[in-house]
Structure 1
Amino acid sequence: MRARTTVELVALVQRISGLHQQGATHESAAIVRQVAVMITPEDVARLAAMLQQNGPAGSSTYLARSASTGAPEHAAATLAVLRRDGMINEAADLFHTLWSASSAALPALLAALEQSGQSADGQTLLWERASAPAEELAELAQHLKAAGRTADVRHLLRQAAGRPINEVAAIVGALSEETAAELIGELARIRSASDISRFGAAIQGSSELYDTLLFAADDLEESRARSVFTALRTGGLPTELTPRPRSRSRQRR
């Protein structure tokens, strides 16, 4: 990807503006979308500045948003350059567009933001996804694990563990067994004993999940574990593992 000369960028502005003035707005927008991923991040910022001054209204922010359709590295680098060059509105539009990245694309985008010195923005995106519906959150956790981003999985689950109990129960049901156990562990560490009891009631229909909750509670510091088991008994819930023909090898303390 080579850098464009000022003459080339001016020609682009003239072409985009000319089509817009002729009423060919779709053609004009198509050129902006195409150019956004074909030129360097530095040239995106230069072209955005020219469009801001001379192009159709809104074309500079549209150019910035369109950079999100390119490779994650290109989008992240463009975001960094727009901010560096003081293109505040354009950078904000691009960042907000990145919020809609698919679960499959998000791990690569998080890595690209880190590489461009924008790790905090990646954590903001992850925080935003923690409020997603159960199936979507489960899908994201799976993609993050596959990409080896275990710290991001923990961050995502920690945020999800703070959601309303019925939502946490739905999320646990959508996760893989291993990831569900991680979320239950987070919930056991951060929620009140009464919240954990309500969660236990919500998942009691699944003996596997309920036993995982008992193990998580048993792993807590002694006084906190005692409070949780007391809350479970008060709520009429069992505090012993579900009997099985083949019991789990792990023993509660």
Structure 2
Amino acid sequence: MHKVHSIPIDLCQYALKNRKINELKLFIHLKDISSGHIKFSNTIFDYKIDWAEDLGLNHKTIKKCLKWLIEEKWLTINNKRKSIRVVGYRQLKRKMMFDNNSSALWESEDYNMFKPFCCSAVISFYRNKKRFIDHRRSATNMERASMNRKRDKDFYSIPIQYIATCIGVSKTTANSYIKIAIESGMIEVKKDIKTLKTETGKPITLEHYSSLKISYKGYVFNGRLRRGKKYVKLICANRIKSNLHLKHKRYS
């Protein structure tokens, strides 16, 4: 029977940053099919074909992942008893020196969705974290955040560069992770396009577009200006909504 796993966000982030999604996928699968120990008859690779079929990977990839998990001590081998021990999350978090107690619930049996799950979990966590920080930074920001929330409940602006920096990957990689998450339906994104206005609140007309392309009031737009029908438009950070269930769980 498939178990529901409360997977630490730090593990998902580690897998994305270090390109170890298949390794984490196998690790979770081994936790799923066992109570923490797996017996083998001849070698630790006895079940590589079965596991490959379960995860939609080839057996060579499974063998490579198993070796990595053993080298990194995510799995330990008892050759006398001929068993594989799957390390618990608590021990793994201590070993990896993770200090974040947030986790995401993995409930699917379709491991083809595991990478989208990891992408969505990490993006959702940092979206929530940014919203939490923004709401408490100052009274002005709280008002702005409140307006954002009223305008579109559950959606919150988060720049791609912010996600990239938090995960520790390039902006291009972060953007690809966002696309994967969107395609899975685990997060939703809405574009945020605003009419650029003067200090007095008047919309800026298209006749000023060329002079604004570089900067305006010291603000550099970096190619985010667009021509509207009558007014200059500003492409803002996308607003993201998470459809994942995140929770705070103490592993230590």
TM-score (norm 2): 0.26
Higher strand share: 2
Higher relative contact order, chain-length normalized (CA < 8 Å, sep 6+): 2
Provide TM-score, normalisation by structure 1: 0.26
Q: Which has the larger radius of gyration?
A: 1
Pick the structure with more helix per residue. Answer: 1
